Chain A
Amino acid sequence: MQLHEDKYKDLNLKIGLEIHVQLKTEQKIFCECSTDYINSSPNNNICPICTSQPGSKPMGVNEKALENLLKIGLFFGCKAYEKPFYVQRKHYFYPDLPSNYQRTSQPILGDGNFMGVGIWEIHIEEDPGRYELREGKVDLNRCGVPLAEIVTAPDIKSPEYAREFLRDLLLSLEYLGVIRGESGSIRADVNISIMGGNRIEIKNVNSVKGVYKALKYEIVRQKAVLQRGGTITMETRHFDEGSMITKTLRKKETVADYRYIPDPDLVPIYISPEKLQEIESVLPESPHNKKKRFMKEYSLGEEIVDALISDLYLSDFFEESAKKSNPIESGKWCATELKRRLNEKNLSVSTSKITPKHISDMIGFIERGELSVKNAKWIIEDAVDTGEDITSLMDKKNFYQISSEDTLLDIIEKVMGDNPKAVEDYKSGNENALHFLFGKVVNETEGRAEPSKTIKLLKDKLCMVN
């Protein structure tokens, strides 16, 4: 479900992503150097292979890297191509690439789907080193870290959904245990077209937030160009993380300039059906199957289920809480208020302090009439932030609802005594007076009066006045 698309309906946005993630391995893709490029001093994690010393040859592809990539593809419902694939050399000159070509494979899997967004293809490549362009300094430690590139169809219809999609995609990959966890482990190229206009490519966006900001900026920029009667020409732009704007890239290699050739130092790779089966057997339940199961087993609506399954940590969390509470209630709270709070705080249930017990306990309080739905939202926020248990949060916030009829009647009588005019108005047929009096009772109890009981008692009491 793309919830925010309405806002952009007239723009007919088509957004596609090329997402790079680092695959989790001990060794680099073509050599035995460590992939831990962050905790090592500059240029200390290198060898003749990953720095392309004259005469060096790559070792065979790291099998673990390939397996992790296959896991990603199969999890997103992709199919592997039946033909062997080979690794190509993509030539370009840049200080982070000592060989002057990047090894990048042909598509390995394709035709999948995640959160309603088509996955066109996935392939493997080597990460270049790091070039600090402002300082003119190069560190080759990252050279040869295995990367997966995931190419989506232009199915995303808003910057908000792009952000949500990426966030959940990353969580899924983390859950699968196939990617490195360090910050900066996502890089994306973003394609966007507005109203059937030309496609603009934004290169090298380095965070989920950056993708969102770059898209927001591009929409404003392109709208302004069109309003002035200008046209959008196809081009590649660069996103500046500091100023959060995109700028034209003056020079750009074309496909022909990359001079792709199959790498003669490496042999083709064939993924057998047996290999695929082996990988599939260790994968967690796919989002597709989980969706079907959740709808059947817990009788949850599609929208709720979509929100739950897009984050596997959240879907596990939900199932745990549903063991000790009404699954429909639990599903609703997890998919809406909890997810909203986590996104707001840039957390996942795996990194926040909230536990499934918080949700099931909270639902218990609501069902017993002790906690209002309105206050439950505050409880979730606090549980996410502090992890304190529900009972002590209830005490601390004084959230216990007043549902005792005697107590409510006392308050109602007081409110009616204080507001004789409103009582008169109600008697003469003014329904608004009832709302006014109800509001007074709510104020009197600091929002803790149980609403349906209060309304009923209030009506009864008013009818008794002659």
Chain B
Amino acid sequence: MVETIIDDNVIERVSEIARLKLSEKEKEKFREEFERILEEFSVVDEIKVGEKELYYVIENVNVLRKDSEPKPFNKINDIKNNFNKKEDGFIVVPRNL
């Protein structure tokens, strides 16, 4: 069990950088969820790692690709259908974020 660090300040800061305005009820909901997530992940702390941080387990390097003629994606409309709100081809989002 990890010690909880999800206090009001953390919730406030996370919602700030996520650019979300949360109601008191939502804040409480997120606090519970965050705590559960952290607890789930606390199992990772049990893994013994060496002194050196290991970022990549595979030794493969330099996977590069040659630049060539662009290949347009042929199902752009499938992507566009995921846009919540459209106008003249643009995605419409809140102003002045």
Interface assignment of B50: CB less than 8 Å from any CB of chain A: no
The reply to whether B56 and A51 contact each other, CB–CB distance below 8 Å, is no
The reply to whether A262 and B72 contact each other, CB–CB distance below 8 Å, is no
Interface assignment of A191: CB less than 8 Å from any CB of chain B: no
A252-290 Cβ-contact flags toward B at 8 Å (1 or 0): 010001000010101111100000000000000000000
Interface assignment of A60: CB less than 8 Å from any CB of chain B: yes
Interface assignment of B29: CB less than 8 Å from any CB of chain A: no
A-side contacts of B90, CB under 8 Å: 42-43, 132, 135, 137-139
The reply to whether B94 and A136 contact each other, CB–CB distance below 8 Å, is yes
Which stretch in B1-9, B13-21, B39-47 binds the other chain? Answer: B13-21
CB distance from B13 to the nearest CB of A (A): 8
Given contacts A93-B17, A137-B90, contact A51 B79 (CB under 8 A): yes
Q: What is the chain B residue whose CB lies nearest that of A139? A: B90
A-side contacts of B64, CB under 8 Å: 60-63, 66, 269
Q: What is the chain B residue whose CB lies nearest that of A258? A: B17
The reply to whether B79 and A48 contact each other, CB–CB distance below 8 Å, is yes
CB distance from B94 to the nearest CB of A (A): 6
B-side contacts of A36, CB under 8 Å: 70
Question: From residue 46 to 97 of chain B, which have CB atoms closer than 8 A to chain A?
Answer: 55-56, 58, 60-73, 76, 79-80, 82-83, 87-97
Complex-state Cα separation, A329 to B17, whole angstroms: 60
Complex-state Cα separation, A43 to B88, whole angstroms: 10
Interface assignment of A59: CB less than 8 Å from any CB of chain B: yes
B-side contacts of A75, CB under 8 Å: none
B82, B90, B96: which has the most chain A beta carbons within 10 Å? Answer: B90
Chain B residue total in the interface (Cβ 8 A): 38
The reply to whether A262 and B93 contact each other, CB–CB distance below 8 Å, is no
Seen from chain B, the residues whose Cβ lies within 8 Å of a Cβ on chain A are 13, 16-19, 55-56, 58, 60-73, 76, 79-80, 82-83, 87-97
Question: From residue 12 to 48 of chain A, which have CB atoms closer than 8 A to chain B?
Answer: 25-27, 32-36, 41-48
The reply to whether A46 and B76 contact each other, CB–CB distance below 8 Å, is yes
Question: From residue 231 to 250 of chain A, which have CB atoms closer than 8 A to chain B?
Answer: none
Q: What is the chain A residue whose CB lies nearest that of B86? A: A43
A121-142 Cβ-contact flags toward B at 8 Å (1 or 0): 0000000000111111111100
CB distance from B21 to the nearest CB of A (A): 13
B-side contacts of A65, CB under 8 Å: 67
The reply to whether B97 and A95 contact each other, CB–CB distance below 8 Å, is yes
The reply to whether B93 and A46 contact each other, CB–CB distance below 8 Å, is no
B-side contacts of A268, CB under 8 Å: 55-56, 61
Interface assignment of A92: CB less than 8 Å from any CB of chain B: yes
A-side contacts of B19, CB under 8 Å: 93-94
B-side contacts of A92, CB under 8 Å: 17
CB distance from B3 to the nearest CB of A (A): 19
The reply to whether A267 and B95 contact each other, CB–CB distance below 8 Å, is no
Q: Given B66, B89, B96, which contacts A133 in the complex, CB threshold below 8 Å?
A: B96
Q: Given B76, B92, B97, which contacts A44 in the complex, CB threshold below 8 Å?
A: B76
The reply to whether B70 and A27 contact each other, CB–CB distance below 8 Å, is yes
24 A-B Cβ contacts within 8 A? A25-B67, A26-B70, A27-B68, A42-B88, A43-B89, A43-B91, A46-B73, A46-B76, A47-B73, A47-B79, A53-B82, A61-B65, A62-B64, A63-B65, A84-B61, A93-B18, A131-B93, A131-B97, A133-B96, A133-B97, A135-B95, A137-B87, A137-B90, A267-B63
